[in-house]
Chain A
Amino acid sequence: MLEIKNVTKIFNGGTVNEKVALSDVSLTLEDGDFVTVIGGNGAGKSTILNMVAGVYPVDAGNIVIDGVDVTRLPEHKRAKYIGRVFQDPMMGTAADMWVEENLAIADRRGKRRGFSWAITKKDKAKYKELLKQLDLGLETRMTSKMGLLSGGQRQAITLLMATLKRPKLLLLDEHTAALDPKTAAKVLEITDRLVKENSLTALMVTHNMKDAIAYGNRLIMMNAGKVILDVKGEEKKNLTIEALLEMFTKASGAEFASDRALLS
């Protein structure tokens, strides 16, 4: 479903601030893979998602989604294939527009936007039903401005927006990191349900090792712009945090850098 082929990304190339964020990374996701991504701060997790989404151009390599080489496609054209949820709850929705308007915008992802009404009665009924399934009482807030909702509510709706038009690929970048633990658990549960119901292919970055082990069928670990660990199948199911830390030390020759990950 997704092929990342020898992708390299260098920020501020040729200056003293040169930073190799990704170094010759290759990764292939099968149809239906739900991959969790862990790694210390600055390991390149966000960058790899941004490369796939087309936020910045790659310096080398290719990105192929479902057989289509999208390496040269601009971000808004790749959006046809990709649903995204960001770490910052403010980033995924338009704060001054209503909940239902946000959903309607997402419902037309990958479609030419013309002179039909931005939202129809039929749309509203559909969104109400979907919001009900989130079980957060949001079905009564369809005409609230998005900016009035809490971070958790916004992330839940962003998830809905990312999956409303079934994407070939779902990209989640620490989308629960800004939430309190209870809300984070709820949003993760919604994520898992949406991925399973729609049998989506997904890449989920998380700073929480427990979550990385509990969710998905495959786990990769990144360090210094490289994928240093790739665990799937039975091995993934039987992972423990201790084993993971040990693997990290062995693969990278250093202690795992993020205290955050250990604590949570």
Chain B
Amino acid sequence: MTDQTSIAPQTVNAGDIKTAIEALKQQFPDWVQDDTRQGYSGVLVDRNHLVEVARTMRDQYGFDYLSSATAVDYLGVEDSMEMVYHAYRTSGGPALVFKAQTPREGAEIPSLIDVWPGADFQEREAYDLYGITFRGHPNLKRILLWEGFDGHPMRKDWKEPYYEEEHKPFDSRWPKGYVRRAEELNAFGKNVKYPADLDLSRLNDTSEEALYSGMGLGVDVEKLTADEKLKTDRLVVNLGPHHPSTHGVFRMIVTLNGETIESLEPVMGYLHRNHEQIGERNSWLANIPYTDRLDYISSMGNNHGYVLAVEQLLAMGNRYQAPTYRAEVIRVLMVELNRLVNHYWAIGFLLNDLGAFFTPSLYAIAEREKILDFFEAVAGSRMMCNYMRFQGVYKDLPERIRGVANLVNDQVRDFNTMDYLTELINERLPRSIDELDFFLTDSEIIKARTIGVGYLPPEMAIAYSCAGPLLRASGVPYDVRRADPYSIYPELDFDVAVRYHGDIYDRYLIRLDEMRESVRILKQILPRLERTQGEDFFAGNKSIYMPRVPLGEAYGRVENPKGELGYYVVSQGDPKGPQNPWRYHVRAPSFINLTPLGQMCKGQKVADVVAILGSIDIVLGETDR
């Protein structure tokens, strides 16, 4: 088995998209044009008619799922900004890419929220970070930064306080090695930069007021409940950002009528670590460890999406070699193990959210440690694996798994890798999944708390661009591994798990289903591992992990445990100069899956909010990036 069997990314069904594009161009000859820039695909749409064209795409051509919407600033290349949209059909197939351009000054683009409500948060993010106004967006507030922040940081002419240069490695570090700590050059000794016209007399924190405005809190409750027997109070409850449900620093502002939720507004950005901006300063290769820290429970999956995206770009050049078969096998092995880790975690902590404090999660994450031991032995770290490389993986599986550093204490940990994996996959994992199933699925309390709660109908799930278990538990059998296959998934035998009730209980069940499917995949991976033993795990030249990236754009996506994880990368600028991504955007499932949270919670009791949140399964590293 060699390279021939590995499948080039996104070649399936491409003809179909061409037909759709041709038809669109015929229908709107003045508004829709081909994107003819080198290495780009899709169409450019006149921004004044964007909504109309988008509606046609959705209704006539069946692109009912807006996967990603993001902005790019082409300062210095074209002096314009543009919004890039990737729309898919839920029946499967590749993306229809379309873009709308706007001048940088007074940037404005019509909002697509009426066509695809899933654009809501993504447009707010583009407004926050790029300063693009979306005409028609009902709630255009900052989403990651606080209201009142000075400037729009992802614009190419905005400089962060610790700014050194556009490209890494910085001159101060390499090759001269003149290292300085950034704080020392800042007058405040901190990561801050005040605008020149800072008005000291008017310094007050308005970020909270701005948050609460527009929530309709001024309603006269007396009147509202005048004809009801049971008088209730309207109450605004703030949950988070520090709170005991284990989902990180997420905040919700809930308006209650009695105990019933009237509206819920998610507030995020408490872990906004500027992933994308740092990513645009980093070299292509140096972004891989950063992707680990997106969804920090499933770092392997994050690596996978990123390398797929960049490999698409590399494939446009001529020095590219597709990853070897062994590399693909190892990648799938890692990713599926990671899916198990994630779902163990999700189920354990969903139970936490339901009030079964810590006991179920202790059981759930016990087996996780076994998988992490394997990751540690292979990649060197338990959580932040930094394992995949363009055109392959970083290392082959080791012969034995053992604690090298502390052998005296760790005599129990010394296994043959294949034996360890075989036992893990054939016995331990299925057993522990069955155990969870046995203890939890029929529990009366769980059923009472979860069945029918947090209902998300399928049409809404699609419209809101939900992905992953959240989408599939609502009865939409959409799984990127099947809908738009990558790696060696086409030759593997597994089913797309789907459940139909769209409530918390089904979201719990579907995770169990998916774990079983993952084990099924892993069982097919084991013989492939044996067979390819000793083959090459890296296709390129090992002395340079990083070949030059040709100009162009690419969107690589994988089915991560939390949903569809996509990376939109653009290579631009000087083709001979330092190589950095011009744009590096992460389509984070945790972020977009939160869009319907308000809708799902409306009318529910306040005690269920945390459980509904838990059933979506978010990770803040990815939500806020």
A and B assemble together: no
Which B residues lie at the A interface, using CB under 8 A? none
Which A residues lie at the B interface, using CB under 8 A? none
